[in-house]
Amino acid sequence: MKDSRIEVMPPSRRQWRQRLKNSLLYYLMRSGWSAAERLPIRGVLRLVGCVAPYIFRGDTRRAEAQIHATMPHLDGPKTIRRMFVHFAESIWELSRLHRAVPQLAADARRVLDEVLAEGRGGVMISGHIGNWEILGQAIASAGYPIATIAKPFYDPRITAWLHKWRSQRGLEIVWRGDNTGKAILRVLRRNRLMAFLIDQDTKTAGDYVPFFGRPAFTPTIPAALALRTGAPILFCWHHRRAKRHKITIERIHYVRTGNMEGDVLALTAILTGRLESIIRAAPEQWVWMHRRWKQKSVE
């Protein structure tokens, strides 16, 4: 009779192999980033972006399907190629962040100054559009107190490195954990800006609102936070035009009805609709490979 027993790798050996794998990935990442900071590889990164659709076939197919379902008039393959080139360009820009960041225009500063003068902080909303990492860095570099929320990585070394890199110009990082809610409230109580990205289907409190004509599960915490605390709500985004950066910040005004649940959903829909219009203006600068409509509405 054939022996049906399955050999199980000892836990210590599994852990050792995982630690080795994590270390290799960590040092490869650090080495690659160090090279990007020092070498003139902008053209190389753009070339990588051009061939990326043929490498990341699963992401490409998902992006093509979502573009076809939401913006069928677009040339899908061309948009996706431009999207990957945009991401490659973004990596190059971020590798140069220690040298310079885009400057905020006078109108953007005016909106921030007016909001902070009210003394209640501000809830800032954006999405994974343009170079969203530069967006937060530019606001912090301009002297405005801003915090953002992030999920820790499986490897604490990567988390520590990202924390150091992201906070180099004053951006405060709130890492998700048991006391995330209290940390967010402290940001607002100190009259600071609390930034959220609301364009991904994640495991957080949310509800379904229209996004490109389809119900999309969207985080409702930012809207609820603004309504409950009275903090002003801002919408901001970054777009790249050739080699120029454009950062736009606008205040969102809304009318309360007194029905908190309905108001939260309505405000979330307003913010999501605003994001949709921004994506339509530069579709190649959004993350089409993300499974935005992963969860399905039961209605």
Residue 77 has pLDDT above 70, yes or no: yes
SS (H, E, C) the chain: CCCCCCCCCCHHHHHHHHHHHHHHHHHHHHHHHHHHHHCCCHHHHHHHHHHHHHHCHHHHHHHHHHHHHHCCCCCHHHHHHHHHHHHHHHHHHHHCCCCCCCCCCHHHHHHHHHHHHCCCCEEEEECCECCHHHHHHHHHHCCCCEEEEECCCCCHHHHHHHHHHHCCCCCEEEECCCCHHHHHHHHHHCCCEEEEECCCCCCCCEEEEEECCEEEEEECHHHHHHHHHCCCEEEEEEEEECCEEEEEEEEECCCCCCCHHHHHHHHHHHHHHHHHHHHHHCHHHECCCCCCCCCCCCC
pTM confidence score: 0.86
Region 17-42 average pLDDT: 73
Region 20-45 average pLDDT: 74
Residue 1 has pLDDT above 70, yes or no: no
Q: What is the pLDDT of residues 250-290, one digit of tens each?
A: 999 999 998 999 999 999 999 999 999 999 999 999 999 99
How much is the pLDDT for 2? 47
